Amino acid sequence: MFDIGGSLAAARKGQSLTPADAERLTCLRGRYLAALEHDEFDALPGRVYARAFLRTYADALGLDADRFVEEFDARYPEPLEQPAVTVFRPRRRRRLSARALVALVVVAALAAAVIWTSLSPAPNVTPIRAPSPAAAAPPHPRVALSLAHPHVTKHAALVIHATNGPCWLLVRRGGPAGAVLFEGTLEQGKAMQFVPRVWVRLGAPWNVAMHRGAHVVAGLPASVPVNLVA
Closest CA to 145 of 209, 80, 71, 221: 221
pLDDT tens readout for residues 4-59: 989 999 999 999 999 999 999 999 999 999 999 999 999 998 999 999 999 999 99
In the chain, what are the domains? 4-75 (1.10.260.40), 133-229 (no CATH)
- The sign of the dihedral angle between the CA atoms of 144, 150, 153, 155 is positive
Closest CA to 223 of 209, 202, 204: 204
CA–CA gap between residue 75 and residue 4 (Å, rounded): 10
Give the pLDDT score at 132.
54
CA–CA gap between residue 195 and residue 154 (Å, rounded): 10
Instruction: Say if residue 90's pLDDT is above 70.
Output: no
pLDDT tens readout for residues 109-139: 887 776 766 665 554 545 555 555 444 444 4
At 156, give phi and psi (nearest 5°).
-70, 145
Give the pLDDT score at 51.
92
Give the pLDDT score at 136.
45
- pLDDT above 90 covers a percentage of the chain that reads 46
State mean pLDDT over 77-103.
Answer: 65
